[in-house]
Amino acid sequence: MQLGTVALTGAAGNIGSVVRKALRAEATRLILLDRVPLRPEADNEEAHTVDLRDQAAVQSALAGADRVLHLGGVPDEAPLPELLDVNVLGTHHVLEAARRTGIDRVVLASSNRVTGFYPVEHVTDPQDPVRPDGLYGVSKAAVEALGRLYSDKFGLSVVCLRIGSFEPAPTEPRHLATWLSPRDAIGFLLAALAAPPAVRFATAYAVSANTRRFWQLPDPAVLDYTPLDNAESHAAAVPGAAHPTAPASPQAGSFALPEFTLRHLNP
Per the annotation, the verdict on 136 as an active-site residue is yes
Q: Pick the catalytic residue: 136, 150, 205, 225? A: 136
DSSP annotation of 84: I
Reported as half-sphere exposure (CB side, CA atoms, 13 A), residue 13 has a value of 20
Contact predicate 53/33, CB 8 Å: no
Q: Residue 1: CB partners within 8 Å, gap ≥ 6?
A: 194
Q: Which of 74, 76, 126, 70 is nearest to 95 (CA)?
A: 70
Where do the DSSP E strands lie in the chain? 5-9, 29-34, 45-49, 67-70, 105-111, 157-163, 165-166, 179-180, 201-206
CA 142, CA 150: separation in Å to the nearest integer?
A: 12
CA 213, CA 193: separation in Å to the nearest integer?
A: 24
Residue numbers annotated as active site: 136
